[in-house]
Amino acid sequence: MSSGTGSSQESDIRTQSYLPRNAVDTHVHIFDPKLGQYAAERAYTPEDAPLKKLIAFNKSLSADSHYTKLVLVQPSPYKYDCSVMMQCLRMMRDRDIGAFGIAVVDLDTTTDGQLKDMHALGVRGIRLNFQADGKEVSTDKLVATLRQTAERIRYLPGWVIQLFVPGWTWDYLHEIILHLPVKVIADHFGGMLGPTKLPSNLKSTPTSQPGFNSLLSLARNSRVHVKISGLYRMSTDVSSNFEDLQPLVQKFAQEIPDQMIWGSDWPHTGEGHDRVNASLEVKEPFRAVDNLAILERLYQWMGSDVYARMLVKNPSLLYLD
């Protein structure tokens, strides 16, 4: 939907699609080299996106200009050094801004005491990112890391594994995740693609793509939360604000309304496959994204009840103080 003026119905949709006071944006990043330097072995160097810009962005989407809750996700350029995220969690809590974190750690060197310290500051899980560097996924490594992570965090209350993987891997992981001792968040649509990114034989039936039914099954069994985020990663249909994702969103809304959460993915980083052989000396620009238009789309596709559950009820039950 256009972000300009329109009918009264369009205006009503825009009003409803702003973030309500108790909403949770479950996926944002901080990039601030003044607070901490990036890892030498990173896949890319981002533009700066400090905390003050994140707070301004969050406030701009709020229906009443108040801050909503935020979940800081450790971004890949910092690798295992979560010090910037931890500093920002402290600063946000000092300002009474509700904040949680999803960490990325080296489990071979991180102690249980360090994980408990993270928990005290609001960290509620560990992210496993098998997409950021644009390389092929090793299923053996994925499964081993998944099991090791679950075993380490199973005793921390409310902790989850946040998993960023290609969609087809859910078929491979279904039985494993079904019996994990912790729950999983499926990042960015669980890797499910819109028709503009699918091969010709799947374009007319995007819900039949590999992994989709396994992802739904895991969500129905309350083992996985599907994060509705990064629409621009799952579709190339920019001119319509990613209209080709409508069948996926509506299927999720129909089948797993209590397992959907939303994330803005601010500040909208680029694609992993575009970073192969890229120079780390050049800062990668962020995407230009009409976030309110995307929220309008989601409101239209799923309806007010599921939209409210996705923004408020579901993440509030998932991220607990």
Is residue 124 within a helix (H) or strand (E), and if so which, with residue range? Answer: strand 123-129
> Topology of 24-320 in CATH?
TIM Barrel (3.20.20)
Task: Give the pLDDT confidence of 268-308 residue by residue, as tens digits.
Answer: 998 876 676 678 989 999 999 999 999 999 999 999 999 99
* Statement: the pTM of the whole predicted model exceeds 0.85: yes
Both tokens of residue 45? Answer: 């160097």
Please give the Cα distance from 245 to 230 (Å, whole number): 11
Domain ranges of the chain: 24-320
Please give the Cα distance from 112 to 114 (Å, whole number): 5
Task: Give the pLDDT confidence of 257-277 residue by residue, as tens digits.
Answer: 999 999 999 999 988 766 766
pLDDT of residue 1: 36
Contact of 223 with 276, CB cutoff 8 Å: no
pLDDT of residue 11: 62
Q: What angle do CA 265, 240, 185 make, to 5 degrees?
A: 30
Is residue 229 within a helix (H) or strand (E), and if so which, with residue range? Answer: none
As separate numbers, helices (DSSP H) first and strands (DSSP E) second, the chain gives: 11, 10
Question: Torsions phi, psi of 26, nearest 5?
Answer: -90, 10
Low-confidence stretches of the chain (pLDDT < 70) are 1-12, 132-135, 273-274, 276-277
pLDDT of residue 3: 40
Please give the Cα distance from 245 to 247 (Å, whole number): 6
Please give the Cα distance from 97 to 290 (Å, whole number): 24
Question: Torsions phi, psi of 67, nearest 5?
Answer: -75, 140
